[in-house]
């Protein structure tokens, strides 16, 4: 297996470490993110998701333990800039991330500040705008765009710095469903083209996008695995007061009535296929005999 691009070793973090009774926002976190991963982080408000994500690009440094990014320790002051170039971040509110009055200038802002030469700069802006499908809007004023479009410009801006990892901290939470889908599509494309993704979300159906999910609770990782592994533990997630994707919930309820129905379906397509197959075979669905329904017997 390849080397992890991010390695979190025994990390605990407190915002008030020198207080008499420090409160720990992260406790004993161990995690490896590998090149090409699409890691999704879910968990309740205040469970430590953003605090963990900020450790990935040295915005925060561990109180105990170490975070390594592409072999660089985030505690080493010399490594801060190369770490920030390796891990890009996109946040929740698109308006706060826009700095220029024309889309292409906004996307060029980061690399231009780093002194990327003109020709290379143009190539990067072209690539970044294409990958988020905002090429046609390059001359527009960002403040006139929809929220989904603005967020895609913010992603293009982060990608123009050519990071190996893109961290999205609830980047879809302020968007309408269409905007959310546009952003997810852009992120999917980036991941396919090789960018490692770390996405924090409250939307469980978005968690299904990843190849790995971690569930956080009170500063700890309490569950992890593939989306199928994590979300098939419906009872565990409910005990943590977390939702499961609606499709999984439906599959789980059908499975409870009829254990031949798979409990771990994740997408609308999967459940539609399973139901269609059962209709064709005239098999039971959730204890209901469709054969009887059709034949009246």
Ligand X SMILES: Nc1ncnc2c1ncn2[C@@H]1O[C@H](COP(=O)(O)OP(=O)(O)OP(=O)(O)O)[C@@H](O)[C@H]1O
**Binding footprint of ligand X on the chain (CB under 6 A):** 15, 25, 43, 45-51
In the list 12, 14, 50, 151, the residue contacting Mg ion (rule: CB under 5 A) is 50
Pick between residue 51 and residue 233 the one whose CB is nearest to Mg ion: 51
Pick between residue 200 and residue 271 the one whose CB is nearest to ligand X: 200
Q: In the bound complex, what is the minimum distance in angstroms from residue 51's beta carbon to ligand X? A: 3
Residue 147's binding partner among Mg ion, ligand X, none (Cβ under 5 to 8 angstroms by kind) is: none
Q: In the bound complex, what is the minimum distance in angstroms from residue 248's beta carbon to ligand X? A: 21
Contacts of 101 (CB under 8 A, 6+ apart): 141, 142, 143
Pick between residue 45 and residue 297 the one whose CB is nearest to ligand X: 45
Q: In the bound complex, what is the minimum distance in angstroms from residue 48's beta carbon to ligand X? A: 4
Pick between residue 145 and residue 166 the one whose CB is nearest to Mg ion: 166
Specify whether the backbone of 170 is left (phi greater than 0), alpha (psi in -120 to 50) or beta: left
Residue 48's binding partner among ligand X, Mg ion, none (Cβ under 5 to 8 angstroms by kind) is: ligand X
Does the protein bind Mg ion through residue 57 (CB under 5 A)? Answer: no
Pick between residue 51 and residue 196 the one whose CB is nearest to ligand X: 51
Does the protein bind Mg ion through residue 51 (CB under 5 A)? Answer: no
Residue numbers of the site for Mg ion (CB under 5 A)?
49-50
């Amino acid at each position: 297996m390849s080397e992890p691009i991010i390695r979190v070793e025994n990390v605990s973090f407190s915002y008030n470490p020198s207080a008499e009774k420090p409160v720990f926002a992260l406790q004993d976190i161990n995690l490896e993110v590998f090149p090409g991963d699409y890691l999704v982080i879910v968990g309740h408000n205040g469970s430590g998701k953003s605090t963990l994500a900020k450790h990935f690009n040295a915005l925060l440094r561990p109180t105990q333990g170490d975070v390594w990014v592409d072999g660089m320790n985030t505690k080493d002051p010399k490594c801060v800039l190369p770490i920030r170039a390796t891990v890009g971040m996109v946040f929740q509110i698109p308006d706060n991330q826009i700095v220029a009055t024309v889309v292409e200038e906004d996307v060029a802002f980061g690399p231009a500040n780093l002194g990327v030469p003109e020709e290379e700069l143009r190539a990067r802006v072209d690539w970044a705008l294409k990958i988020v499908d905002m090429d046609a809007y390059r001359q527009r004023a960002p403040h006139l765009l929809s929220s989904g479009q603005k967020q895609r410009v913010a992603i293009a801006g982060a990608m123009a710095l050519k990071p190996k990892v893109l961290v999205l901290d609830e980047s879809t939470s302020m968007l309408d469903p269409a905007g959310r889908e546009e952003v997810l599509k852009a992120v999917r494309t980036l991941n396919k083209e090789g960018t490692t993704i770390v996405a924090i979300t409250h939307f469980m159906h978005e968690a299904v996008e990843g190849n790995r999910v971690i569930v956080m609770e009170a500063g700890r990782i309490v569950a992890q695995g593939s989306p199928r592994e994590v979300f098939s533990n419906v009872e565990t997630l409910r005990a943590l007061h977390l939702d499961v994707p609606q499709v999984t919930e439906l599959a789980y309820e059908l499975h409870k009535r009829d254990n031949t129905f798979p409990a771990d379906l994740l997408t609308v397509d999967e459940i539609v296929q399973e139901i269609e197959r059962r209709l064709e075979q005239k098999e039971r669905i959730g204890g209901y005999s469709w054969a009887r329904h059709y034949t009246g017997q």
